[in-house]
Amino acid sequence: MTFSRRRLLANTLLGAGGVGLRALATGLPISFLLDPARALAGGLPTCADQARAQYFILATSGSGDPLNANAPGCYLDSKITHSADPAMAPAQLALGTQLVTAARPWSTLPQPVLDRASFWHLMTNTPVHPKETDVLRLMGAIRPAEMLPSLLAKNLAACLGTVQSQPITLGASSPSEGLTYEGAALPILPPLALKATLARPTGALGNLQALRDATLSQLNGVLQGSATAAQRRYLDTLVLSQREIRDVNQNLLSMLDSIADNGVASQLTAALALIQMNVTPVVAIHIPFGGDNHNDTNLALETAQTVSGVASIVSLMARLDAAGLTDKVSFLSLNVFGRTLGPANTDGRQHNPNHQVSFAIGKPFRPGVIGALAPVGGDYGALPLDSSTGRGVAGGDVPAVETLASFGKTVLSAVGIPAAAITAAIPSGKVIGSALS
């Protein structure tokens, strides 16, 4: 990586002039460090519900993976084609009190994870790969135009006190998986680039303790003089101690040094590092779940990547637990479309604009299956939703085409965004209260 490229990434990640690094070293938001007097005059950052705020790791794919072919809720019709490999045999698992059937890999998720997992049967209404960017915008449901990960990040940054409000994407495998924020394209930061930027011998993490002390010394007059008592108490809750900074430095350097490539495991490592650095509320990654499998003899690729994809989720959840982040980080998926499910799909699957499965795993979510599928146009598609129960029914009050908007609204509600703000941002669809803990 060239020096100019490294400097660009450092500026993107940590702010021009190192303001983001100073935010990391102190725990104080960038907005405060850029202009303390103005930040104080403007009042404390607005946070809708700090107790319910979450970081998010979002798995997104423009490939249109066949995750919808083997997830809970996809085994109620015997005409749906599933992989015949024993590794994908139907298995019963418990989502809270709800017993469901899914491909065997999903049953390997530990029960505490399943007790926070909901699986959504959605319609994305597109069979086109490059429309992934539109799906992330909930197919135009967000007003003004914004992506769900960016809307989440924008609303959570003040609650979490993150370095930046923009989300970060680590694993985009195509331009369609890149994120935007307020209409502007965001850079893609592969794990190896993150490592090269921060973990080299003279990298940005090498002198955090000294930078913390110098920054706090410079701000002493503001912190002790200009701030009100309430503002000082708020700032005191953000400022990290010397011990915390030392631990952050050692842990992060060790994590980043273990990155060897830009694969899924490295993306998970990088995502955890960014969350522990409190850089952003939302990190996007790419986990393959079968890909664009038009030609997939005996659904072999689908089998292999479903097994490895679920194993990656198991690994992520174990690492969150080890880091004490189980209650602070939620894991979502949202892909451009699902795959065809009917009996003519033994050696590959086509694009399905009518059915896609997303999952939401985390403290704010109640376990279960939201929605259902039924025959549509020679294959299968998502049914409308009954907003009071979350069931997929033909006469549901949420049309199938609005299920994607309902998914976004429910995720926003899960982290404490006020109902009026959610409706203003996403007028269509309804919050599915039964999906919330």
| Domains delineated in the chain | 1-44+202-258 (no CATH), 47-199+260-435 (3.40.720)
CA distance linking residue 274 with residue 168, whole number of Å: 9
C-alpha dihedral sign at 341, 344, 348, 351? negative
- pLDDT tens, position by position, 385-425: 999 999 999 999 999 999 999 999 999 999 999 999 999 99
CA distance linking residue 23 with residue 215, whole number of Å: 9
Supply the pLDDT for residue 1: 47
Supply the pLDDT for residue 346: 82
Supply the pLDDT for residue 253: 82
**Distances, alpha carbon 377 to alpha carbons 135, 309, 350, in Å:** 21, 30, 14
Supply the pLDDT for residue 382: 98
In the chain, the amino acid numbered 288 is P
Supply the pLDDT for residue 172: 87
Supply the pLDDT for residue 15: 60
Supply the pLDDT for residue 200: 60
CA distance linking residue 112 with residue 165, whole number of Å: 30
Cβ atoms 159, 50 nearer than 8 A: yes
Cβ atoms 296, 71 nearer than 8 A: no
Supply the pLDDT for residue 3: 45
CA distance linking residue 281 with residue 417, whole number of Å: 14
CA distance linking residue 262 with residue 349, whole number of Å: 27
Judged by DSSP in three states, 345 sits in coil
CA distance linking residue 25 with residue 146, whole number of Å: 31
Stretches where the chain sits below pLDDT 50 are 1-3, 5
Supply the pLDDT for residue 126: 98
pTM of the model: 0.89
- pLDDT tens, position by position, 83-112: 999 999 999 999 999 999 999 999 999 999
- pLDDT tens, position by position, 165-200: 899 999 888 888 999 999 999 988 899 988 887 776
